[in-house]
Amino acid sequence: MSSGSSIYVGHVVHQRHRPKKHHLRYRVFSVLIDLDELPLLNRLRWFGHNRPALFSFRDSDHGDGLALRDWVTAQLAAENLPAPGRIRLLCYPRILGYVFNPLTVWYCDDAAGNPLATIYEVHNTFGERHTYVLPSAAPEQQANKAFYVSPFIDMDCRYEFKLSQPDERIRVAINETQAGEPLLYAAFTGKQQPFTDATLLKLFFTHPLMTLKVTAGIHWEALRLIAKGIRIRWYTDRKPRASGEAHHSKSGPLSRAPRKNTSLISRSGAASTSD
């Protein structure tokens, strides 16, 4: 239906290296939405923008209350980057009104259509948000961990992001290290599908209640980690830390009303209790 928006069907994988090995793999799909195409996508029968539908996308699930383009522009300006041209985001859609997005990846192009920057928007299950803004000068991007995510990993870690630009296939990978040693590998890989009613309806049956299963997966993987003897780290002070290369937006409770799913143990792409 559209040239800039797509659906990517694939898997999310987590591989924890220490102190105990832990592996998970879940079937998921994500939507890649071109902000300028939202009015067009809103015409679909099974997808709604800021309205109830089988699948939906709500502006209030992202950013800080500004119009999304304005929010992205402000994020880039804080990093001394110019206003973007095309903006696309990769996230889970709401399914029957429910979603928990642990990570949203914003692909920002310049006016000429070249990659300008990537925004990694992280939500934890305490209803808090944090962003890492990294220029697209290289396919590998790095930042110190600055935001409390999981009770199973300490804060003194570093992220190495590696992602492909959206095409027939997509890949978003994160290597988390501690003291220079590999700790956790997490990745989403997917194959492109057209953003159409036919694709959406098919996914509703092949991936039934996927976003609810994300939440169930969080708790299941947490129990598995506890059973393996991995201790829980609780942080009462979850203010963002200095991060080095990346720009970080203010962390803390979202400016909107709390979401229904903010009491979970940890955040997950399908179960990110590992990270």
Between 54 and 255, the higher pLDDT residue = 54
Reported as a single tens digit per residue, the pLDDT across 182-225 is 999 999 999 999 999 999 999 999 999 999 888 788 778 778 88
pLDDT at 75 > cutoff 60: yes
pTM: 0.85
Instruction: Report how far residue 54's alpha carbon sits from residue 153's, in angstroms, rounded to the nearest whole number.
Output: 35
What is the CB neighbour count within 10 angstroms for residue 265? 18
Between 219 and 79, the higher pLDDT residue = 79
Closest residue by Cα to residue 88 from 106, 71, 75: 106
- Dihedral, CA atoms, 69, 190, 111, 35, nearest 10 degrees? -30
Reported as a single tens digit per residue, the pLDDT across 3-25 is 799 999 999 999 888 888 888 89
Between 258 and 184, the higher pLDDT residue = 184
Contact of 265 with 222, CB cutoff 8 Å? yes
pLDDT at 255 > cutoff 60: no
